[in-house]
Chains A and B, each alone.
Chain A
Amino acid sequence: MLSEGSSFMKGMALGGIFCLLLSLLGSFTPGMQSSPEDQHHHHHIKAPTNDELQSLSEPQMVELSQKVRVYCVIMVQPKVLVYWATAKDTWSKHCDQAVFYSSESAKALEAVDLNEQDEWTKLRKALKHAYDNSGDLRWFFVARPTSFAIIENLKYLILAKDANEPFYIGHAMKSGELEYVEYESGIVLSYEALRRLVNVFKDEEKCPERGRALWKLSEEKQLAICLKYTGVFAENGEDTQGKGLFNSKSVSSLIEDGMSKNPLDVVEGCCSDLAITFSGMSPNQMQVMMFGVYRLRPYGHNFHDSLIFFPPEGSDND
């Protein structure tokens, strides 16, 4: 009896070790060691405070206002035609340049046809194209048309940042060892970050075009891995109070959360006044967002912002 029991135990132990060995072999992917340059890097990017802006001279302010121009990379496909059309008719009008990149061409709407179905490959091609065609635009905002972005608030966040430094900003998430920016709430890249990225695209070992072998990582994580090789790390975009500016939920959804978690201060506890992105809204709700963001306001409450952004031409929903 005892010998049977002990054999059973031995068997269990060996079985466990065997299983562990198998899984270790399976998950082993080359080149995933954390780099030695894993020193302390800043994880949060905060919007400039009023004092910081006041301290800038006028010529400095003019210079900044001219540099903070955004090239929007909007990844679409015919499957989401309604969202594509809505993005075109709403928030993307506030980008200095908005370019739609599609997996395949659609008769109804104009886009750069990537002729590609794989998500990661599409993103690579689009970013390369954006880099080659950005002209003198120095900031890149990557999103899908299911997101809604307030570009003016993005400009405010990156206002005092130098695009010749690598920046990779958004809603920063952590998956095991990897810190990445969530795709759904929008990805911000400075010119330098994109330059480094386009460079590392050429390295098939570090940044393979067809993605990593054993199990497909999402493109947002692939992006983070490639950028990490070039020394660019994900940073969380926040307002001066530390509230996140990039949201993967809609306002209604966040309000709903607030009503159950924070019923005494639903609006205060919800979202930042200068939020940059929301996601998960229907096309109609995005039209309503345009009204809520760019038009609806209480008379007599004014803000003395340091920059003025004019409304885009030929538009009537903002």
Chain B
Amino acid sequence: MKGLSGSRCCFYMGFLVGTLSLYFLRQVWFEMSMEPLVLGEGQDSSVAALAKERQARDSNNWRVEGAALINLNHLHHTGEDSRMADELYQKVRILCWVMTGPSNLQTKARHVKATWSRHCNVVVFMSSVDDPDFPTVGLGTGEGRDQLYWKTIRAFHYALEHHGNDADWFLKADDDTFIVVDNLRWVLSNHTPEEPLYFGKRFKPYAKQGYMSGGAGYVLSKEALRRFVEGFKTKVCTHTTPVEDLALGQCLEKMGVLAMDSRDTLQRETFHPFVPEHHLTGKFSKSFWYWSYCYYPIVEGPQCCSDLAVSFHYVDAELMYTLEYWTYHLRAYGYRHRYRPPLPQGLVERLAQTERPAVGTAGRGRTPASITVGADGDQSKTESGAKPLSDKGGKETLGKIPFDNNRTAVT
């Protein structure tokens, strides 16, 4: 009796266990099969190959000279025509020095090295301590806010002494500043390094001609740098104040260096002391110090910032790469930018436009009237200037770019 009911019992138990276990197994299998596999992902191997390629490229592109990285080849991007940028690279040589410290090398300076600093002619990372591997220069100071002006003084002295002949302009940036070096070259292109000038985000208090915000980055001409160094030799400038950017501004003012207007031809700022989101979408409270500091009127919203922005500040590692992607990579195909920046004076106009003319298509509501010509408006001084010939069997291209009456054409 007992044996029979026992085996019955076991049978039912077994049945229950079987049902339940297979139910759960089925759920798991179902869930796994529902997990979508993405098509078209053969990218992993190509990404690894890219990384290898990148390392090889890097060793060919940079010559390490002491603690400085000398750029041998101007960075090029596939599919683009960077003749203008190359010209400026040769003509407007910039030494970038980045204010950093031993504790920031891996968290901040490393990302600067991987992104925007690659576009400088020379880059030097300034720290309190020598680091031959990164590499960084040891300035022999301490770290901290009160050491900032000391570091700045020593850094500029170092730059003039070791690299005075390698560059025409000397940029100071923090390790959380993002710089678009090509746009800086455009800003500087109509000036010569023999003039005593300096550019940056201009603030007005405490100095007659104003001074440049430290975090947003500022750049000195070679003559300005010489005068800065001279100022310390002759004791005209002092070492005592910790407010780096103001102290520098006051010193330069004493030495007859001019604080310049770095805004674009539409009076839009190029150097920015905050992140893009803050300038483009933020509303500064009326009591915020910024209102009383800015030398030029603050514009909120999209017109705050030039298309040819030069700098942003308080940029964390993720935003560094994001900005590099937005600036140098992501674009809208064929888009004809509203802002047409003028060609720097004295630059040879490249007329060798052997590419086929582009076809214009209208934005919303307009129909394309005729074939428009060449998308390289950046290079033409006037809108109705010379038009390139097509190289396809000598076909001549048609007239001018058809501007609608209500198009907001901006020069």
Contacts and interface: CB of A to CB of B under 8 A. Distances in A.
Contacts of A306: 334, 356, 358-359
Interface in A300-315: 300-313
14 contacts: A11-B16, A19-B18, A66-B361, A156-B334, A174-B38, A175-B33, A267-B321, A284-B277, A291-B305, A292-B326, A298-B327, A299-B85, A301-B85, A308-B372
Interface in B179-218: 180-183, 185-186
Interface in B363-402: 363-368, 371-372, 374-376, 378-379, 390, 392, 395
B336 A11 contact: no
Contacts of B359: 58, 61-62, 64-65, 306-308
B349 interface: no
Interface stretch (A2-10, A100-108, A112-120, A199-207): A2-10
Nearest to A179: B39
Interface of A: 3-20, 23, 43-44, 50, 54, 58, 61-62, 64-66, 68, 93-97, 150, 152-153, 155-156, 171-176, 179, 234, 236, 238, 241-244, 251-252, 255-256, 258-259, 262, 264-271, 273-275, 284-285, 287-288, 290-313, 316-318
Interface stretch (B44-52, B169-177, B239-247): B44-52
Contacts of A294: 332, 335, 337
A242 B42 CA distance: 8
Contacts of B22: 15-16, 19-20
Contact of A152 (B18, B79, B335): B335
Given A153-B333, A308-B360, 12 more contacts: A4-B3, A11-B17, A19-B26, A171-B38, A176-B33, A294-B332, A295-B307, A298-B181, A302-B379, A305-B334, A305-B358, A313-B407
B104 interface: no
Contacts of A301: 77, 80-82, 84-85, 182, 328
Contacts of B318: 252, 255-256, 259
A17 B22 CA distance: 8
B82 A300 contact: yes
Contact of A304 (B20, B51, B367, B375): B375
A11 B15 contact: yes
Interface residues of B, number: 118
B23 interface: yes
Contact of A307 (B182, B317, B360): B360
A202 to B, nearest CB: 29
Interface of B: 3, 6-23, 26, 33-43, 46-47, 50-51, 54-55, 77, 79-88, 114-115, 119, 180-183, 185-186, 276-277, 280-281, 301-303, 305, 307-309, 317-319, 321-339, 341, 355-368, 371-372, 374-376, 378-379, 390, 392, 395, 406-408
A275 B88 contact: no
B11 A310 contact: no
Contact of B333 (A97, A296, A302, A305): A305
Contacts of B407: 310, 313
A70 B40 CA distance: 25
A318 B338 contact: yes
A7 B16 contact: no
Contacts of A155: 333-334, 361
